[in-house]
Amino acid sequence: MKTKLKGKAIKLRKRGYPYSEILKKVPVAKSTLSLWLRSVGLTKRQEQKLTKRKLAAARRGGEARRKQRLEITKQIKEKARLEIKNINNNDLFLMGIMLYWAEGSKSKEYTPSQGVIFSNSDPQMIKLFLKWLKISLKIPDERINFEIFIHNTHKNRVEMVKKFWAQETGFLISKFDKIYFKNNKIRTKRRNVGQNYYGLLRVRISRSTNLNRKITGWIEGICIQCGMV
């Protein structure tokens, strides 16, 4: 029996099978298999075949791990999503303040007349900010203006970009006529630099200097209530 198994193992090895695959077909200890195959020389072609098999196995293993990570990510996200419930108007009000604190233009001593300007490339973040403006701050649509900043390598996609932001925000495409082109090279690890690249959208509120000052006060009030001041 061992002689037959040894012969089978040697044949498989010469056909370019790695040890892991041979052990599935030849039920012996790995140490025994190593001893049997120690003197088995492989031709260059057989070594190439073995290398291809190892690479293919590595790719299969990598793909399996990737799918596993995706499934774990999906489960975690679904569970976390269910933990967010019943967001009321006060929650939205506070969320908008924090969002502006992170991404909005601030009033400084050297820019005391700074209006409300919010810039981002994430459509979801833009939509949440617009919802905050309309529901929490009662800002009418006519005071909301948009500017698009996009790399000049995407000049041929301007109409597509305008249409994208119009669909995402629900505003007329005519509100997106202000386009500014950036000349610097795109240096980013993000993948949305091809057909999924829609530039950065700037939301500018007209006649909003005092509103910006008020937002600054709200931010300071949050800091005080959280014991940060």
> Residue ranges per domain, the chain?
2-79, 89-225
Instruction: Tell me: pLDDT of 192 over 60.
Output: no
What is the model's pTM? 0.72
Instruction: Tell me: pLDDT of 51 over 80.
Output: no
pLDDT, mean of residues 133-162: 96
Confidence of residue 173 (pLDDT cuts 50, 70, 90): very high
The per-residue pLDDT for 188 is 56
4-30 per-position pLDDT tens digit: 888 888 888 877 787 888 888 898 898
Instruction: Tell me: pLDDT of 134 over 70.
Output: yes
Tokens read off for 178: 């202000």
pLDDT, mean of residues 202-210: 97
Confidence of residue 35 (pLDDT cuts 50, 70, 90): confident
pLDDT, mean of residues 191-196: 68
* Of residues 31, 36, 41, 29, the one with CA closest to residue 6: 36
Instruction: Tell me: pLDDT of 127 over 70.
Output: yes
Confidence of residue 209 (pLDDT cuts 50, 70, 90): very high
Q: What is the mean pLDDT of the chain?
A: 89
Between these two residues, 206 and 28, which has the higher pLDDT value?
A: 206
